A and B are shown apart, each in its own frame.
Chain A
Amino acid sequence: MSWFRDFFLPMQGTSHAVAVDNLFMFIVFLNIGFFLLIAGLIGVFVLRYRRKSANDRTPNITHHLGLELTWSIIPLLLCLVVFFWGFKDYMTATVAPGDALEISLTGEKWIWTFEYPDGMRSLGELYVPAGKPVKLIMQSKDVLHSFFIPNFRIKMDVLPNRYTEQWFQSNIPGEYQVQCTEYCGKGHSGMNAKIVVMSQTQYEDYLQNGPPNLRTMPLAELGALLYESRGCATCHSLNGVKGQGPTWKGSYGNMRKMTDGRDMMMDENYIRTSILQPQSMVVSGFEGIMPTYQGLLRDREILALIEFIKKQK
């Protein structure tokens, strides 16, 4: 029957997902059963009791207590089963085990930032060890967001005035998609993140040296990747269209005016400062809304982005 489940639901990344899916599929069968019952009865009645003439006589049936009790009580009992089932799995999903790895998560328009216990931060990508419970302690810097991991069957709103939590434990290494599910404006659709579940040794290595696959990648290619994954793409276009921020097309080597009147040349130093201290020079015609990437990008990553920007002729 797993093909049938896969028809409805995304791949299962946790044992909680398996529990949720069991109830989901139970309700699917309930739905199909009741729908066929209702639709079947309607079909049969329409065929059998089609009007033959305007003078058709019909029996005077007004009610039937036994029947009415039956179709009230059976659905009620089924509903109670579903209620308790959903309640049970909900409680296990909301109460995190005490030994969980705690990671704090900040949502802001339109990026997710994760902070590890040792202070390392990561943007849009969360690397976690397999087989260990992970608890996210979440807050928002601006409006509401919601952190949704379809493969884990969990989501929780992220609020500006209060911490919310959710936890998961995945035993299956792999990459899992995260999407924002509380409407938050322009960049809502692009407010994605990725969760990478890795073995314990890979995880320790990651903590030391950053994501393994990126270490050897050519700079410009890495830059292109970061452009998407670090959210630059939400504000900077490559095709000349002005977005939230200036386009990168043909920008390298040009002069630009700052709001404070200075003229700056788009060179390597300027780009580096723009990334690390965006507020120190704001291009005129734009608002100073670019977040700082201080502590979020490793040195090689900044070089990669510079290389990538250079390539946008």
Chain B
Amino acid sequence: MATTSTPVTHHGGHHAAHASFLEDPQHRGLMSWLTTVDHKRIGLMYLWSVLTAFLLGGLFALALRLELLTPKEDFMTAETYNKVFTLHGAVMVFLFIIPAIPAALGNFVLPLMLGAKDVAFPRLNLASYYVYMTGAIMALTAILTGGIDTGWTFYTPYSTTTGGAVTLMTFSVFVLGFSSIFTGINFVATVHKLRAPGMGWFDLPLFVWGTYATAIIQVLATPVLAITLLLLAFERMFQIGIFDAKLGGDPVLFQHFFWFYSHPAVYIMILPGMAIISEIIPTFSKKHIFGYRAIAFSSVAIALISFIVWGHHMFTSGQSQLAAVIFSFLTFLVAIPSGIKVFNWVATMYRGSIALDTPMLYAISFLLLFTIGGLTGIFLGALSVDIHLHDTYFIVAHFHYVMMGGTVIAFLAGVHYWWPKMFGRMYNETWARIGCILVFFGFNITFLNQFAMGAKGMPRRYYSYLDQFQGNHIGSTVGSWVLALGLFIAAGVLLASLRKKYDAPDNPWGSKTMEWETQSPPITHNFPNNPVMQHGPYDYNAPSVRREA
């Protein structure tokens, strides 16, 4: 781990030719930020917001793990524990992971990658941020006024009968959904309309393909969640009888509605992560991505198939056997495109020139962790085995490998990768790597233990448990401390860099995508003059020759 790659730059170091968007003399002061329509500033506001949510959700997680250190009640009662695990899930999913990559990094990077001045609808973009903040404040209010103890899945009839601020929370998630839809619409339009001259669909960086596929799911699936939550809120307020069996409703219907959104949402969360990895691996291998079209099309395939596998969350729900069999079959189909991508990324490294800078270290952790997440999904797609594993810690471990080991690690990779572009500073490479390695080991200690106890039959959402599981719980809790330490180091390293003067070159990693062609940090209008596509995003061999697509 001792080599640092020598930065390759187009312009040989930073030269502040123009004031960057961060201190543009025409846009100064707090108001200029609050009313900005600059996608970069909106991206950064999102970034700080989602990071705050991440911190909050993470503290909840640490508290949960601490309670689980012993089999009996320690410092949280059952009620508190139930609220805390609900908040951990809801905050992480709705306030952090879903917006993290598209709204924070995507907002910043996507127009730059396309050579555009901004997104297609800059005001809608700002609106999406305020809608997000409104949703976040509602969620916070719900937490402070009674809390919610339904789990982030809001299963009926528990959610229609329990006390607390469930109605407010559902409205909050409803509102957050709209922010997600706004971002989605914006990205679809931007990718269609604002590509630089000469940039065809197959000249798009794969990050753009990934965010594009995500945007489609956001626009198509989120309304279903919105309707479902509205029905749930109405059920609570007016006792209509849609989901509540006592009123003649069907609680399982809720699960169908909920997963019809939330399964595609799994891909809203993971596709952008995959998209980041597809940028980082070629850059740090100095090599053309392997199987460009396969990766691009598999994103779209995943986006489409993801709409018809929701029933695999419900194998024990009492749905018909036939439905279960069909969903199981489709689930295996959706696994294949993800597998293909992993092979493509690994093949990209073959005969590359591999530099292990922090973003690449995170990308490699992603490959390992996401592979485990994907492979363990095979257990869950298989009907007979899933019946045993459903709603145990095995599931918890599996989706943490996908959501955290996959998306969050990719997000961290992306933050480290684009940090110099966003803030114009390089961070301390050694400490950033130490953070990354601690995160990797801490994560595995935390969640491998959860696989083990899940297969043995430890159910999820238990605040106290049978003594036989204590060994694994202790391991998992200790792992969570290592993980937290790694994350705090990473945060410290990044924040510390902000105290320096600008020192980042335009293209510190020697990447070929367009966002690196402007200065770091970019000027308000992104590029001094309208950029034209000179070479493909992965043309490491033929720098100035246009790729035939």
Does A100 lie at the interface of the complex (its beta carbon under 8 Å from any beta carbon of B)? no
Q: Number of B residues contacting the other chain (C-beta, 8 Å)? A: 93
Does B6 lie at the interface of the complex (its beta carbon under 8 Å from any beta carbon of A)? yes
Are B387 and A185 within 8 A (Cβ)? no
Distance between Cα atoms of A19 and B382 in the complex (Å):
13
Does A181 lie at the interface of the complex (its beta carbon under 8 Å from any beta carbon of B)? yes
Are B291 and A63 within 8 A (Cβ)? yes
Distance between Cα atoms of A61 and B461 in the complex (Å):
48
Are B385 and A20 within 8 A (Cβ)? yes
Distance between Cα atoms of A146 and B371 in the complex (Å):
30
Q: Do A63 and B375 contact each other (CB < 8 Å), given the known contacts A51-B353, A161-B251?
A: no
Does B227 lie at the interface of the complex (its beta carbon under 8 Å from any beta carbon of A)? no
For A264, the chain B residues whose CB sits under 8 A away are: none
The 8 Å CB contact of A177, one of B161, B325, B340, B466, is B466
Q: Do A86 and B386 contact each other (CB < 8 Å), given the known contacts A38-B346, A61-B350, A185-B149?
A: yes
Nearest CB of B to A109, in Å: 10
CB-nearest residue of chain B relative to A53? B6
The 8 Å CB contact of B287, one of A20, A61, A63, A177, is A61
For B372, the chain A residues whose CB sits under 8 A away are: 31, 35
Are A86 and B382 within 8 A (Cβ)? yes
Does A4 lie at the interface of the complex (its beta carbon under 8 Å from any beta carbon of B)? no
Instruction: Kindly specify which of A152-160, A218-226, A299-307 makes contact with the partner chain.
Output: A152-160
Are A67 and B347 within 8 A (Cβ)? yes
Per-position 1/0 for B223-257, Cβ under 8 A of A = 00000000000000000000001100111100000
**CB under 8 Å from chain B, chain A span 77-104:** 79-80, 82-83, 85-91, 93-94
Most-contacted residue by chain A among B78, B325, B384 (CB, 10 A): B384
For A201, the chain B residues whose CB sits under 8 A away are: none
For A46, the chain B residues whose CB sits under 8 A away are: 349, 354, 356, 364
Which residues on B are within 8 Å of A, measured CB to CB? 3, 5-8, 78-79, 82, 149, 151, 155, 157-158, 161-162, 245-246, 249-252, 285-294, 316-318, 321, 324-325, 328-329, 332, 335-336, 339-340, 342-344, 346-347, 349-356, 364, 367-368, 371-372, 375-376, 378-379, 381-388, 390-392, 452, 455-457, 459-466, 510, 540-542
Apart from A23-B382, A64-B347, A90-B383, list 18 A-B contacts with CB within 8 A: A9-B455, A39-B368, A41-B346, A56-B286, A59-B351, A63-B291, A67-B347, A68-B291, A71-B343, A146-B316, A156-B387, A181-B391, A182-B155, A183-B461, A186-B79, A187-B78, A188-B461, A189-B463
Which residues on A are within 8 Å of B, measured CB to CB? 8-10, 19-20, 23-24, 27, 30-31, 34-35, 38-39, 41-42, 45-46, 49-54, 56-64, 67-68, 71-72, 75-76, 79-80, 82-83, 85-91, 93-94, 142-144, 146, 148, 150-151, 153-157, 159-162, 164, 177, 179-190
5 examples of A-B residue contacts, CB within 8 angstroms = A56-B353, A68-B343, A79-B381, A82-B381, A185-B162
